[in-house]
Amino acid sequence: MSEMKKIKNLKEFSTSADRFEGANLLCPGCAHSIIVREILNATNDPLILSASTGCLEVCTAVYPYTSWDASWIHIGFENSSTAIAGAEAMYKTLKRKDRLPESCKGKSPKFVAFGGDGATYDIGFQWISGCFERGHDMMYVCLDNEVYANTGGQRSSATPIGASTTTSPAGRVSYGEKMNKKDMVQIMAAHGSPYVAQVAPNKWKDMIKKIQKGFATEGPVYINAMSACTTEWKFAPDDTIAVSDLAVDSLVFPLYEIENGTKLTITYRPKNKIPVRDYLGAQGRFKHLFKPEYEYLIDEWQKRVDDYWEYLQRREEAGV
């Protein structure tokens, strides 16, 4: 294995040469590209990437342009994980038979698949599950913006309860999405994956640490990256980092990691815990929850977040 890139502080990190290019067509203020940049800059090793259909794929590969300065596979909605697993299997075989081209010898390429929450939680789920069961040495990154943003904001199974989307609109008879969000991190941990983590781009240091740990881990790694969506969460483009901060500090997106399927560690504890109400209030998709008839949902939400935080802390304490 090659040496890990040393990133002591942000100044040192800023000397990285980006392998992701501007003039992609992602919305102004999109968190997807912040996440992708942080992941790509976390290593200097060659990268083999793929992306499931979603905002990231269609916006970074608008013919005749590509925004990737590394090998990148454009593939269907469900199979970015299997495409990258196939590439990884081929690499391993060629290496074993000593048939790698000269230019590829002595390097340790990293295999990373990107997918949105639709591609991860719903459409590509069985493919990802298969890859994790087979134990490919790869990383799967879910860019979790809790909605099918690319097709105009339909609900996915990552959409949290109460959110208004185009297929679960809030109005006179409904408060929006009725189902709770699926806990994908725990599901992937239950596959026995050696490393599973939840990250947020606004906590860059925590994120880089986890990504590098993921790269150093042999076997399938799952990263759930919170990606605040200015278009579908309905906040101003310049508030991306502020909203991400609210999500992390209100513990709606707790940052933690799970090793070998069981050992849970909380990696970030907010100094000042913010009420969930503030997080919801910053986004247009939860506007209707502040009407008197739906306000009980906010209290329920706060209780759910508190309970989950309690659960994480207990698991961390117990080391299981």
Q: Which residues bind other proteins (CB under 8 A)?
A: 10-34, 37-38, 40, 43-46, 60-70, 201-202, 204, 230, 236-242
**Least separation in angstroms between CB 108 and other proteins:** 12
Nearer to other proteins, 21 or 278 (CB): 21
Nearer to other proteins, 64 or 292 (CB): 64
Do 309 and 274 contact (CB within 8 A), yes or no?
Answer: no
Phi, psi of 208 (to 5 degrees): -60, -40
Nearer to other proteins, 242 or 274 (CB): 242
Nearer to other proteins, 43 or 193 (CB): 43
Phi, psi of 111 (to 5 degrees): -105, 120
Nearer to other proteins, 11 or 172 (CB): 11
Closest Cα partner for 80 from 109, 110, 102, 48? 48
**Least separation in angstroms between CB 133 and other proteins:** 28
| Residue 98, helix vs strand vs coil | coil
**Least separation in angstroms between CB 285 and other proteins:** 19
Provide the residue type at 208 as one letter. I
Phi, psi of 195 (to 5 degrees): -150, 125
**Least separation in angstroms between CB 72 and other proteins:** 9
Nearer to other proteins, 179 or 236 (CB): 236
Report how far residue 188's alpha carbon sits from residue 224's, in angstroms, rounded to the nearest whole number: 10
**Least separation in angstroms between CB 62 and other proteins:** 8
**Least separation in angstroms between CB 39 and other proteins:** 12
Closest Cα partner for 226 from 34, 18, 17? 34
**Least separation in angstroms between CB 246 and other proteins:** 13
Nearer to other proteins, 71 or 260 (CB): 71
How many C-beta neighbours within 10 Å does residue 320 have? 9
Phi, psi of 71 (to 5 degrees): -60, 130
Closest Cα partner for 268 from 210, 188, 187? 210
Do 67 and 24 contact (CB within 8 A), yes or no?
Answer: yes
